A and B are shown apart, each in its own frame.
Chain A
Amino acid sequence: QVQLVESGGGVVQPGRSLRLSCAASGFSFSSYGIHWVRQAPGKGLEWVAVLWNAANDKYSADSVKGRFTTSRDNSKNTVYLQMNSLRAEDTAVYYCARDHGNDYEFDYWGQGTLVTVSS
């Protein structure tokens, strides 16, 4: 069955970096895009970024542009979210979600990983 598993969250100081992973299984990984969506404690969902298979086929939210980058390793069925220059407002649960393409997005989600930015 389709599974997405996030990892790499934790407590990090402001200005430091962290890399999240989203490991996929149960589907033909290279054919799909992967979104990152975050949710600050007690708040709503915020879209962060999406990455397709082509290296330049990616988009990100203005709030993270220049600080967060996405990449993927199809041999490991994994997408990464490299987060640099972290701020307190980046504190959130980070989810990855699958994108079929063809106007069919967010059909499977991981359980999320918590990132806390605090000194």
Chain B
Amino acid sequence: QAGLTQPPSVSKGLRQTATLTCTGNSNNVGNEGAVWLQQHQGHPPKLLSDRNNNRPSGISERLSASRSGITASLTITGLQPEDEADYYCSAWDSSLSAWVFGGGTKLTVL
């Protein structure tokens, strides 16, 4: 099953802003939206944003999700050391009747 496309790595400086992207097609991101997950090494993923770009309770306001066409984005402002992690997007694909994941983006905070 074809997955979503994420850049493998992004590096930004402390207190800078990082924007992570996730590109799909009209069967998934374009019509269904995308969820964003964060995973620190050795830990399970954590939901950062639901498919309607809403943050769950307890997720920092420095994070915001959006979508334009078939591309979803996660913007993290004021980068902190704890933001260094792997970030995944995922979406329901209506043509596959399956969830698809992106390959993940490793965010490095310099």
Most buried by B among A46, A61, A62, A103: A103
Beta-carbon contact of B44 and A95 below 8 Å:
yes
The distance from the CB of A59 to the nearest CB of chain B, in whole angstroms, is 5
Interface residues on A, range: 20 to 34
Beta-carbon contact of B98 and A95 below 8 Å:
no
Residues in A with CB closer than 8 Å to B51 are 103-105
The reply to whether the CB of B52 lies closer than 8 angstroms to some CB of chain A is: yes
Residues in B with CB closer than 8 Å to A112 are 44
Beta-carbon contact of B44 and A105 below 8 Å:
no
Interface size on B, residues (CB 8 A): 25
Beta-carbon contact of B35 and A105 below 8 Å:
yes
Interface stretch, picked from B11-19, B64-72, B75-83, B100-108, is B100-108
A95-113, CB < 8 A from B: 95, 97, 103-107, 109-112
Residues in A with CB closer than 8 Å to B98 are 47, 59-62
The distance from the CB of B32 to the nearest CB of chain A, in whole angstroms, is 8
Beta-carbon contact of A45 and B1 below 8 Å:
no
Give per-residue flags for B34-60: 1 if the beta carbon is below 8 A from chain A beta carbons, else 0: 010101000011110011100010000
Query: Contact residues of B with A, CB < 8 Å?
Result: 1, 33, 35, 37, 39, 44-47, 50-52, 56, 86, 88, 90, 96-104
Can you offer 25 A-B residue contacts whose CB atoms are under 8 A? A37-B45, A37-B101, A44-B88, A44-B101, A44-B104, A45-B45, A45-B90, A45-B101, A45-B104, A46-B101, A47-B90, A47-B99, A47-B100, A59-B98, A62-B98, A63-B1, A95-B44, A97-B45, A105-B35, A105-B99, A106-B45, A106-B47, A106-B90, A107-B47, A107-B56
Query: Contact residues of A with B, CB < 8 Å?
Result: 35, 37, 44-47, 50, 59-63, 95, 97, 103-107, 109-112
